Amino acid sequence: MVKVITYGTFDLLHYGHRRLLERAKALGDYLIVGVTSDDYDKTRGKINNQQPLMERIAAVKELGIADEIIVEEYEGQKIDDIRRYGVDIFTVGSDWEGYFDYLNEYCKVIYLPRTEGVSSTEVRSEKRKLTIGVVGTTVFRTKFIKESQYVNGVNVVGVYASEPGDVASVQDVFYTDQYDDLLAKVDAVYVISKPEMHYQHVKKALESGKHVLCESPVAYTRKQCEELYELASSKGLILMDAIKTAYATAYERLLLLAKGGKIGKIISVDAVCTSLRDGITIEDADLSKKWNSMCGWAPAAMLPVFQILGTDYTKKLFFTKFQDREENMDAFTKVDFVYPSAVATIKVAKGAKAEGELVIAGTEGYIYVPAPWWKTDYFEVRYENQEDNKRFFYQLEGEGIRYEIVAFAKAIESGRNLSYVPEEISTAIAGVIEDFNARKDMIEIE
Ligand code: CTP
């Protein structure tokens, strides 16, 4: 009996898949189909799958071509499978020509011509057509536009800012200095204007029926933030807080481990985020350059604190060194949060440098995330007995931005808020920024 094996994602199963499987089956007597797991696809940069593993398996099964279906979960599994199942022929579409030649050592490798004119990517892009406009000018804007290109069916079509900057050089993206003009031409906006303008930009977008992905803080006061979320929900629109760290797989996993009791009861969370590179620029005319240390970094730093310990802290105290007090520009701020049975500290700076690590301490061990923890792909769970230590690595593409855009697009499609930054946390962050701006509970250092 000649055994044949092939692998694929088979998302939104199409004619090209069926033809591939029919020809694969015809190569022998018994066909094994390996369907990639969601996690494995994520690690190899396939972030757009619309169907979860079980649905993709069910679709392949329904074709009735495969004799056996297995799940492909890790790099290097193919060799294991070929040995384990006694496979004679490995086959895959010609888009992989040459890539699997190394398997010749274990079995025969055949590349079958790919069916022209159809792919899961195209089917997904047809299903989803979402146009996004960007509000504001920063270096980050370019990153966002670039990252959006990895998300099927999402197109950044325009930018509203007080000056064009480098927009002119981006193909197919128009520039306007009129917000109404942008809003008239898009389904959704990504707001990265200067923080004190978020409220008005978000509000106007929602009032115009547009979905919003907004950099944190979403507003300058807790009340305004709540108002925006209420407005979004009353209009059936998505409003998402854009803290990209929330979408990094490693970060998600460490949260689960911490909350699942892996290090016992959590006693403290310490997060540090600094960057001298962005400097502290004050350019009033511009829509977005005015980000102090608190707005630029504290939302990301507060994320693990609030996700692990909750937002009901009993006390908080700011320690701030201003570079320009009038302009509310802090060079360095440390914030202590006190909870009934835990404490947390964040240190953020654009005018000072420190090790950008995250440490979550528990009664049985601690989680250590090396710098820069906010774009983390790696962390360690450490114990008193070093032999028990565990290291975790999860591939991170594009600092989490593309996963965030996928979540935003999916939320819009499904009408459900799939934000990884819960509304309650987004609002609590706005509340902390509000108190900082009011110099409430603040000790200033010279
Ligand atoms: N395939 C094919 N003809 C197509 C599309 C896919 O022969 N038009 C083959 C691939 O070469 C592979 C298998 O079907 O052997 C599974 O491919 P998969 O990556 O799941 O499908 P794609 O449509 O290529 O998906 P994507 O657009 O996400 O890359």
The enclosing domain of 238 has a CATH number of: 3.40.50.720
Q: Which two tokens stand for residue 211?
A: 């979905």
Q: Which atom of ligand 1 is nearest to the CA of 48?
A: 28
Q: 53: CA distance to ligand 1 center in Å?
A: 16
Best substitution site from 63, 90, 120, 151 to test ligand 1's pocket, by max atoms within 8 Å of Cβ? 120
Pair (237, 251) in one structural domain: no
The DSSP symbol for 5 reads E
Residues 246-272, mean pLDDT to the nearest whole number: 96
Residue 170 and residue 262 share a domain: no
Per the structure, how many domains does the chain have?
3
Reported pTM: 0.90
Q: Do 47 and 139 sit in the same domain of this protein?
A: no
Nearest Cα residue to 419 out of 398, 431, 403: 403
Q: Identify the CATH number of the domain in which residue 384 sits.
A: 3.30.360.10
Residues 220 and 362 in one domain: no
Query: Residue 70's domain spans which residues?
Result: 3-119
Percent of the chain beyond pLDDT 70?
Answer: 96
pLDDT, greater one: 216 or 169: 216
- Are 298 and 435 contained in the same domain? yes
Please check whether residues 249 and 239 belong to one and the same domain: no
274 and 409, same domain (yes or no): yes
Examine the fold and report which residue of 119, 145, 166 is the final residue of a domain before the chain moves on: 119
Among residues 201, 219, 244, the one where a domain terminates is 244
pLDDT in tens, 141-166: 788 989 999 999 999 999 998 887 77
Instruction: Out of 74, 101, 119, pick the residue that ends a domain.
Output: 119
| Residues 223 and 256 occupy one common structural domain | no
Q: How far is the CA of 81 from the centre of ligand 1 (A)?
A: 20
Do 275 and 309 have their domain in common? yes
Check whether residue 37 and residue 151 sit in a common domain: no
Q: What is the DSSP string of 48-94?
A: ---S-HHHHHHHHHHHT--SEEEEE-STTHHHHHHHHHT-SEEEEEG
For β-strands 365-369 and 358-362, DSSP reports them as antiparallel
Residues 59-115: tens digit of each pLDDT: 999 999 999 999 999 999 999 999 999 999 999 999 999 999 999 999 999 999 999
pLDDT at 250: 94
My answer on whether 170 and 135 are in the same domain is yes
* One domain for residues 277 and 254: yes
